[in-house]
Amino acid sequence: MFSALLASIGYAGGVVLDKIILSLNRISTRVFIPLLFAFLAGITLIFMPFLGRLDFSKLSLWYVVLFIAMLIVAIVWNIYYYEGLQKENLHEFELIMLFSPIATIIFAEIFLPAERNWGVFVAGLVASGAFLFSRLKSHHLAVSKLAKGTIFAMILISFESVLIRLLLDVFSPVILYFLRTLAVTAVFYFMYKPKLNTIPVKMIWATALSAAFGVLQMVLKFYGFKSLGVIETTMILLLGPFLVYTFSYFYFQERFHYKKDLFCAVVVVLCIIYSTLIT
């Protein structure tokens, strides 16, 4: 559970930094995404000698297919995700991404038989629903073309969680994330052919810091998937958006709704405690 909590912090730090780099500093996604993934792979490489393990005895064509599917899904959702993050209001962007826990929980229930615990499943839906209730307003029901891309990214992110959990039967979290980021880096550099000299040095360092948050989030999330399961880890990761909204209030001057937020926080924490006690 502690690893999932740390992953929430990594998520919040990464989202806020990425928003600052892409929106406030107007860095092109065609430059930012390849650079970010290069840093992600490089930072993860540091941990490979200690934590990078692959069970060759279990490796089969099925896992190769799953790995390729994961790469395709990761490439597509990252394109739509960062385009949405750059152009959407952070508050609006996070609202759409809040549907991800519900989608992830449903996908896990369908495709991962070992995750079929109705108590945890219902608790996950309640926690996710409470978070949506605290944010949803009538004007959010209109969906723009940009928002549709973000929704598509959200669905793919949720489905990728299932693919990752299946691959963790063979790969350790560190080696799986390293191979994923390395392959995605190569694809994005080939696609975009970024001119890195167009990005200011301070933004390169900011991207490196964002990558550090990303590695913290994703690797620990992978460990959570393996030890706690996809549904319970997803519930704990709901704490990450709380941190994003707190920062958006102080930094971007976006409004807070204290009564709804307090209600949501209580519901999420109770659901996490409940799911921990019954598993």
141 pLDDT higher than 70:
no
Alpha-carbon distance of 245 to 12, in angstroms, equals 9
Domain ranges in the chain? 2-278
**Distances from the Cα of 256 to the Cα of 20, 31, 66, 105, 236, angstroms:** 20, 33, 41, 27, 22
Chain segment 84-118, per-residue pLDDT in tens: 888 877 666 766 777 777 788 888 888 988 877 77
Chain segment 165-217, per-residue pLDDT in tens: 999 999 999 999 999 999 999 999 999 999 888 889 999 999 999 999 999 98
pLDDT of residue 4: 63
* CA torsion angle 132 73 193 90 (round to 10): 0
The stretch 69-94 carries a mean pLDDT of 87
**Neighbouring C-beta atoms of residue 119, cutoff 10 Å:** 12
DSSP one-letter code for 22: I
Q: What 3-state class would DSSP assign to 129?
A: helix
**Higher local confidence (pLDDT), 3 or 64:** 64
Question: Which uninterrupted H or E stretch holds 203?
Answer: helix 201-227
244 pLDDT higher than 70:
no
**Neighbouring C-beta atoms of residue 145, cutoff 10 Å:** 6
* End-to-end CA, the chain: 12
Mean residue pLDDT of the chain comes to: 82
Question: Which uninterrupted H or E stretch holds 94?
Answer: helix 90-97
